[in-house]
Amino acid sequence: MEEYHFQNEKKFCHQMIKIVSRNTRYTLREIKDCINLGNVRAMVRMHSTPHIDGGFKLTVGDVENICEEIFDWVAGVELARLAAEDVIDAYWDDDKNGMSFKMKKQ
42-84 pLDDT per residue, tens: 999 999 998 888 889 999 999 999 999 999 999 999 999 999 9
pLDDT of the residue at 100: 87
3-class DSSP assignment, residue 77: helix
Q: What is the value of pTM for the model shown? A: 0.86
pLDDT of the residue at 103: 87
Does residue 98 surpass a pLDDT of 90? no
Q: Are 49 and 1 in contact (CB under 8 A)?
A: no
pLDDT of the residue at 101: 86
What does the pLDDT average to over 3-28? 93
